[in-house]
Structure 1
Amino acid sequence: MISFVKAHACGNDFLIIDEALAQRRHADLARRLCTRNTSVGADGIEFLDRKANGEFFLRLFNADGSEAELSGNGTRCVAAWLASSEGRRDVALGTHGGLRTCHVVEADDPQYLIESGMGVPRVMPRTIVVPGVGDVAGAMVNVGNPHFVLFVEADDFGTHGHTWQDLGAKISTSPLFPHGTNVEFVRVLSPSEIVFRIFERGCGPTTSSGTGTCAASSAAMMLRGVDRELTAVAEGGSQRTVWPANDAVMHLTGPAEIICRGEVFAL
């Protein structure tokens, strides 16, 4: 049996499993345990490694078994679990995308509001050529993991004659991105608010994404001149981003909720 915790951030759900229980089966466990309907179900698994020196390190595996650098929402879910189980209000979590710091702003167990330091975004305007679509203008954004951000006008987020889900799948797996990329479709509602949709690498459409929120926000700030403090709304709810300057750390504030604890058969 493998013990797990399940948590979500704006509907973006994760399992949290002790790294020691993985026994080098990370990808297999992610594929099996994240399957909806026939298993626990989740967008990914955060494997939590407690180092001998007291530090923490996270390895994130997507539902398809691929490993990603980090998840902003997944990191926040782990911070919520450490707050719930150990009373930690501040925690630093190492990831393959860099160190992420989390501070509990509000706590009403099992619900938490958490502010995270998300590193310094790098925004690079690019026009890419997508087979069967043509030229697609947007921005490559790195917030510890890769994103491609498009700005759209339609209420349904469709563009270039495709639904956002279809175009997101084409871009996410394009040979232009050998390791894949996350894709965000952004509409600017006002100088202080954006709304967007997410096609997540290794998962497909998701209700929310912490790094996607940061990527969409930073691209809108740099390329559309919106405010440096934004409300970013995805299908699962809103989060708050603050980016004082291009060379400053972006801060992301959003909810995380512990759903349950349990055990699953490890076949």
Structure 2
Amino acid sequence: MIPFAKAHACGNDFLIVTEDSAANRDFAELTRRLCARNTGVGADGIEFFAWIGSKCGRVRLHNADGSIAEISGNGTRCVAAWMSSMIGAKAGDELRIETDAGLRICRINNVLADGGYSVEVTTGMGIPSSARKIVTLADGRSVEGIAVSTGNPHFVIVVEDPDFSVARNAWQTIGAEICAHSDFLHQTNVEFVRILSPEEIEIRIFERGVGPTTSSGTGTSASATAAIAFHACASNLRVLSPGGAQTVSWRGPGSELELTGPATLIARGEAWCG
């Protein structure tokens, strides 16, 4: 039996499994089994966690398909919610989480424990980098976008159509092709952005190793980076996704980006794993 906790951030759901409880198991195979929506617990990925201090932990993220990802902003926030519940954190507490993309400090802004357990968290997401890029599709068409690194890779496309289509092609189709494009050695996450106003954007996400998702913390951060750096959006930017809203604060190149949003614990349990 494998003990787990399940949490979501704007509908982007993760399992938290301690490394001790998964010792001597193949993490990739275990992730595929537990994340299966119909035959497992169901999740977008597993954060394998180890305590390294009273308010500090280390995670290694596996996507639902078993592949390793450097970081998930929403997954990190879900881990912060779980850590918060385990140690009884209060508003103002800071939790330190080591990821494969580096240290992330999560500040607990608010704790809601009435009939459930939710936190609002501001996470330092590191210093993003970005550059314009053109990707040539298999049919010869060129797609202009912005390559962004938030500790993991993203390709951000600004669109005008309300359905987020690109040249009359569904964003899911374009996202799948660009995600696996040879220009990206380790594949890439793909975001589609509609600029609603200088203070607000709306996004759709095709996540590497998962597919279309309701939300993404690093995808939100990458989309905001592109909108602020290249489309004159405000440095405090509200980002809407199908799973809900998050807020990005970023002063521009060379400064750390901060991401604020909710995370909610869903369940604790044990899973049969053979």
Q: Name the TM tier (shorter chain).
A: over 0.9
Residue in 1 that maps onto 2:4: 4
Equivalent of residue 97 in structure 2, options 77, 93, 97: 93
Q: Per-residue deviation at 1:84?
A: 1.1
SS in 2 for 1:64: coil
Instruction: Summarize deviations over 1:137-160 as a string: whole Å, max 9, x none.
Output: 001000000000000000000012
Name which of 146, 171, 188 aligns with 1:181.
188
- Provide Cα deviations, 1:96-124, integer angstroms capped at 9, x if missing partner: 11111101101012011110000011011
Which amino acid letter does the alignment assign opposite residue 41 of structure 1? G
List gaps (5 residues or longer) in structure 1. Answer: none
Shift of the 237–159 alpha-carbon distance from structure 1 to 2, 3 Å rule, reads same
Whether contact under 8 Å (2:229, 2:252) holds in the other structure is no
2:28–2:62 CA contact under 8 A, matched in 1: yes
Contact preservation (8 Å) 1:133, 1:160? no
Within the candidate set 114, 135, 141, 2:142 is matched to 135
The residue number in structure 1 matching 2:163 is 156
Write the distance in 1 (CA, Å) between the matches of 2:31 and 2:147: 27
Q: SS of the residue aligned with 1:233?
A: strand
> Would the aligned equivalents of 1:3 and 1:262 in 2 still touch at CA under 8 Å?
yes
Where does 1:155-234 land on structure 2 (aligned, <5 Å)? 155-234=162-241
The yes-or-no answer on 1:41 pairing with 2:32 is no
Could you say if the C-alpha distance between residues 46 and 122 of structure 1 is closer, same or farther in structure 2, counting changes exceeding 3 Å? same
Q: Distance in 2 between matches of 1:49 and 1:174?
A: 34
Q: 1:223: how far off? A: 0.7
Return the letter of the residue paired with 2:111: A
Shift of 1:53: 8.8
> Separation in 1 of the partners of 2:142 and 2:240?
27
* SS class of match (1:219): helix
- The alpha carbon displacement at 1:21 in A equals 2.1
Q: TM-score of the superposition, structure 1-length normalised?
A: 0.97
Superposed CA RMSD: 1.2
Q: Percent identity?
A: 49
Inter-partner Cα distance in structure 1 for 2:76 and 2:263: 10
Distance 1:196 1:51 in 2: 35
For residue 20 of structure 1, report the CA deviation from its aligned partner: 1.6
Consecutive unaligned residues of structure 2, counting only runs of 5 or more, are none
